[in-house]
Chains A and B, each alone.
Chain A
């Protein structure tokens, strides 16, 4: 029995963290967020490390690893607030293509980092502002809001019957939507008899793609929150007031302890949820929902508390803490806010209609 990461997984985690710390530090994140530099170069560098190819089978140029390995990568990317289309192009896209079958060529292009796939599944969870997509005669009509990884070549779209489709960005109208989180481009897609490749009519496939995405967002929040906690602890050791490090005051150290106490058990939850995606299918949906919702709550608490430990400096742009704060806030709403996801968890156990 070994409930935890293998030596290979720990090595992968260390390697990716070291790369991101060195190559994609806060200054680069700032430039990308400000639009002074494109995030594409980061994705190309991650492609060289094999991050784009984690889930694709070896036969299609991939590494053939498991969702837990992808969750480890997601945690690293969250830890460094790295701008990248990982969620759509390395996880949810490949998961959908593998379930649909017969999409070897696309998998290869995704794995190589040559194709970018955005995610337009939000309306299958909660349609807001009269958005929604209908499919008929191989064409899509309607609109999708807050698509993930906007700026992609293709989008994975859910229709109102929970079927999955692929559309080409050049076949539809689209525009970016500005949000508080500048490192994650989102946008709106408008479909007017838009030609689409039907991938699946099985709602279980959509569910599996969403579950995978939710575990990745949970892992991303885990990494981001851990980083905020680490920064808060380091600051509390160094910053002095009343001739003492502020971390020696119980009022401050207890804030740090509460963050750690809430966050540390999340690690095991995220690991298990990642493991269950491929290895315990009967528990995958429930654990994905709980990982997503619980990390949203704990992440929100840590984001706020870690900022507070930094006092006024936490509120400024100088330290850049807000990049993680906003990333955690984004992860909380994307692919289902906690109340919605918990309701799904209840339905999964026949506790709600």
Chain B
């Protein structure tokens, strides 16, 4: 056990702190992702290597070698200072690494620079009404007509579709091939004729997602990543490399601290909730689990640096993290009882209603991005080596 980051990394930490204190007045506080303040801040962060850190300079990035510890320190310091660490989104987190892995030189030159600078916003067209956990069964079709693909079909769960300039989209181009070999990865503009976006209101009352409909959408033939039929491999290309960031355990810790604060301020019959043993015990149970996941995260980080295996520790993070967070938010609501039901305009609303919002939102995250049940399949099959469920699809198709 050596928990020190070492002098070299403490120097990086000092650098980041100095940067933040010198420039924090320029940092945007929320606001439109197209605003000048947001775009200027993004540019400044890239110049200093605090955003797009490992993207090559040739494509507009900072060009540093991947260094998971340096990335973690930067993330920690921005989070502690509560200063924006620049733009995220699926273009930056998913498309750019995909292009770096399997894109053509021309695609890299065209798309990466404006994407990381926030000038080109993307949405992801993967899920369909009939293709959720079984994504490879997707049916949105693209047929080559001269020099253009003609796309017809529907996508769902498309976050930021209404804000995006472009979409990276999985479509079926080889209808007669086995399902994993008939998919292609297309890029096209969201203002192309034939695209209709309908907001999808979720249980929080917000429209974080959309449905997107394609009717004879014409896409230039060369706007394909990889070759036709290779889309599944393209979409999975970045999965071979671990993501640059492992998610931020600091957020769970800050929610736990907010919960402790809430339990001090809320009262029942004049007694603080924290002084009631039943609630306090639930808080301590959650704290123990938060602690275990926090140390698990340190183990994963360290394993990456030291080339040790922590694959099972990594596989359980999504399942455990989202379930725990949902329970944490639930305790916040329970600590308030009926007051915890407040939502929207209500004089007894606490913390802007965010206990309810997070409670519902994290149920969404338990389902989204690979449901808890899919996570359990992954853990048991890849992590524990249990046999896969026998396939029944062929039989069902034969009787249909």
Contact assessment for A257 and B380 in the assembled complex, using a CB-CB cutoff below 8 Å: yes
Check B385 against A233 for contact (C-beta < 8 Å).
yes
Q: Is the CB of A293 within 8 A of B377?
A: no
Contact of A257 among B277, B303, B313, B383 (CB under 8 A): B383
> Known contacts A290-B288, A339-B281, A345-B287; is A1 also within 8 Å of B5 by CB?
yes
Asked whether, in the complex, the Cβ of A4 is within 8 Å of the Cβ of B299, the reply is: yes
Q: Mark B4-29, 1 if CB is under 8 A from A, else 0.
A: 11100100000000000000000000
Given contacts A290-B287, A294-B289, A343-B277, contact A247 B386 (CB under 8 A): yes
Which residue, of A264, A267, A293, has the highest number of chain B Cβ atoms within 10 A? A264
A1 and B302: CB pair below 8 A? yes
Beta-carbon contacts under 8 Å, B357-378 to A: 373, 375-377
Provide the residues of chain B in CB contact with A100, threshold 8 Å: none
A164 in the interface (beta carbon within 8 A): no
Question: Which residues 327-344 of A have a CB within 8 angstroms of B?
Answer: 339, 342-343
CA distance A260 to B375 in the complex (A): 12
Residues in B whose Cβ lies below 8 Å from that of A173: none
The 0/1 profile, CB within 8 Å of A marked 1, for residues 276-295 of chain B is 01001101110111011101
Q: A261-B316, A265-B293, A268-B313 are in contact. Are A256 and B384 (CB under 8 A)?
A: yes
- A residues within 8 A CB of B312? 260, 264
A260 touches B291 (CB 8 A): no
Q: How large is the interface on B (under 10, 10 to 19, 20 to 34, 35 or more residues)?
A: 35 or more
Bound Cα distance A236, B388 (Å):
12
Instruction: Kindly provide the distance from the CB of A231 to the nearest chain B CB, expressed in whole angstroms.
Output: 12
B291 touches A250 (CB 8 A): no
**Which residues of B lie under 8 Å from residue A287 when comparing CB positions?**
291
A253 proximal to B (CB < 8 A): yes
Q: Once the chains bind, are B280 and A346 in contact (CB under 8 Å)?
A: yes
Chain A contacts for B2, CB-based, 8 A: 1-2
- Taken together as a complex, chains A and B put the C-alpha atoms of A5 and B308 apart, in Å, by 10
Q: Which residues of B contact A256 (CB under 8 A)?
A: 380, 384, 386
Check: A272 CB closer than 8 A to any chain B CB: yes
Interface flag for B102 (CB, 8 Å):
no
Contact with B along A225-266 (1 / 0, CB 8 A): 000000001001100000011011110011011101110111
Residues of A within 8 A of B69 (CB): 1
Does A279 belong to the interface (CB within 8 Å)?
Answer: yes
CB-CB under 8 A from A351, the residues of chain B are 260, 274, 280, 283-284
B288 and A248 contact, CB distance less than 8 A: no
Taking a contact as CB atoms under 8 Å apart, the answer to whether B306 and A343 are in contact is no
Given A294-B289, A346-B280, is A261 in contact with B320 using a C-beta cutoff of 8 Å?
Answer: yes
Is B386's CB under 8 angstroms from A4's CB? no
Cβ–Cβ < 8 Å partners of B306 in chain A: 2, 4
**Complexed CA–CA distance, A257 and B377 (Å):** 7
Q: Is A74 at the interface (CB under 8 A from chain B)?
A: no
Flag whether A271 is at the interface (Cβ < 8 A). yes
Complex contact A257–B291 (CB within 8 A): no
**Separation of A272 and B284 alpha carbons in the complex (Å):** 18
Contacts of B301 in A (CB 8 A): 1, 3
Tell me if A68 is interfacial: C-beta within 8 Å of chain B.
yes
A70 within 8 A of B: no
Q: Is B389 an interface residue (CB 8 A)?
A: yes
**Chain B residue contacts of A318, Cβ below 8 A:** none
Give Cα A265–Cα B292 distance, bound, in whole angstroms: 5
Q: Point out the residues of chain B lying under 8 angstroms from A5, CB to CB.
A: 1
Contact with A along B376-397 (1 / 0, CB 8 A): 1101110111111110000000
Residue from B9, B285, B295, B377 having most chain A Cβ neighbours under 10 A: B295
B296 close to A265 (CB less than 8 A): yes
Q: Is A308 an interface residue (CB 8 A)?
A: no
Residues of A contacting B289 in the complex (Cβ-Cβ under 8 angstroms): 265, 294
Most buried by B among A3, A68, A244, A256: A3
Tell me the B68-87 residues at the A interface (CB within 8 Å): 69
Instruction: Indicate whether A326 reaches chain B with its CB closer than 8 angstroms.
Output: no
In the assembled complex, A269 has its CB within 8 A of some CB on chain B: yes
Contact B308 A4 (CB under 8 A): yes
Flag if B280 contacts A248 (CB, 8 Å).
no
B246 contacts A by Cβ under 8 Å? no
Option from A1, A244, A272 in Cβ contact (under 8 Å) with B390? A244
The reply to whether B299 and A267 form a contact with Cβ atoms under 8 Å apart is: yes
Q: How far is the CB of B269 from chain A (nearest CB, A)?
A: 17
B284 touches A343 (CB 8 A): yes
Most buried by A among B4, B274, B283, B384: B384
Q: How far is the CB of B398 from chain A (nearest CB, A)?
A: 20
A339 to B301, CA, bound (A): 32
Q: Are A253 and B377 in contact (CB under 8 A)?
A: yes
Kindly state whether residue B305 has any CB partner on chain A within 8 Å. Answer: yes
Contacts of A188 in B (CB 8 A): none
Evaluate whether A271 and B379 lie within 8 angstroms (CB atoms) in the complex, with A247-B387, A264-B312, A345-B284 already known.
Answer: no
Would you give the shortest CB distance from B263 to chain A, in whole angstroms? 8
Residue of A1, A68, A256 ringed by the most chain B CB atoms within 10 A: A1
Partner of A248, one of B277, B287, B298, B388: B388
Q: Are B389 and A248 in contact (CB under 8 A)?
A: yes
Those of B182-234 within 8 Å (CB) of chain A: none
Q: List 16 A-B contacts (CB under 8 A).
A: A1-B4, A4-B306, A233-B384, A237-B385, A256-B384, A257-B384, A260-B379, A261-B316, A264-B312, A268-B296, A272-B295, A272-B298, A293-B285, A339-B281, A351-B260, A352-B280
B residues at A contact (CB < 8 Å):
1-6, 9, 69, 260, 274-275, 277, 280-281, 283-285, 287-289, 291-293, 295-296, 298-299, 301-303, 305-306, 308, 312-313, 316, 319-320, 373, 375-377, 379-381, 383-390
List 10 extra interface pairs beyond A257-B380, A257-B384, CB under 8 A. Answer: A1-B4, A3-B295, A237-B385, A265-B289, A265-B316, A265-B320, A272-B295, A342-B285, A343-B280, A351-B280
| Interface pairs A-B: 7 shortest CB-CB | A268-B295, A342-B284, A257-B376, A265-B296, A3-B302, A253-B380, A294-B288
